Amino acid sequence: MRVLIALGGNAMTAPDGRARPEDQIAAVTAAMQPVADLVTAGVEVVLTHGNGPQVGNLLVKNELAAAVVPPVPLDWCVAQTQGTIGLILIDALEYALAARGTARQVATLVTRTRVSADDPAMLRPTKPIGRYLPHDEALPLIEHGQVWEDRGKRGWRRVVASPEPLEILDAAAVCALVDAGLVVVANGGGGIPVVREADGSLRGVEAVIDKDLGAAVLAQAVGAEILVIATDVPQAMLGYDTPEARPVGQVDVATMRRYAEDGHFGSGSMGPKVEAACRFVEAGGHRAVITSVNQIAAAVDDAIGTTVVPTPAAPSSHDHDIHDANREVGPTHA
User: Choosing from 52, 56, 57, 127, which is the catalytic residue?
Assistant: 127
61 is catalytic: no
| Dihedral of the alpha carbons of 166, 170, 171, 177, in degrees to the nearest 10 | -170
The CA distance from 292 to 278, in Å, is 18
User: Choosing from 8, 9, 285, 305, which is the catalytic residue?
Assistant: 9
Q: What share of the chain is helix, strand, coil (3-state, %, to 5)?
A: 45, 20, 35
Alpha helices in 66-183 (DSSP H): 74-99, 120-123, 135-143, 171-179
Do residues 209 and 192 make contact, with C-beta atoms less than 8 angstroms apart?
no
127 is catalytic: yes
Counting every residue written for the chain, the total comes to 334
Ranges of beta strands (E only) in the chain are 2-7, 44-49, 106-109, 112-114, 127-133, 148-150, 156-160, 167-168, 183-186, 192-196, 202-204, 226-231, 237-238, 246-247, 250-252, 287-292, 306-309
User: Choosing from 50, 188, 190, 211, which is the catalytic residue?
Assistant: 211
- Taking residue 4's Cβ as centre, other Cβ atoms within 10 Å add up to 30
User: Choosing from 86, 189, 214, 273, which is the catalytic residue?
Assistant: 273
User: Choosing from 10, 51, 62, 187, which is the catalytic residue?
Assistant: 10
Q: Do the bridges between strand 237-238 and strand 226-231 make them parallel or antiparallel, or are there none, so unpaired?
A: unpaired
Catalytic residues: 9-10, 127, 211, 273
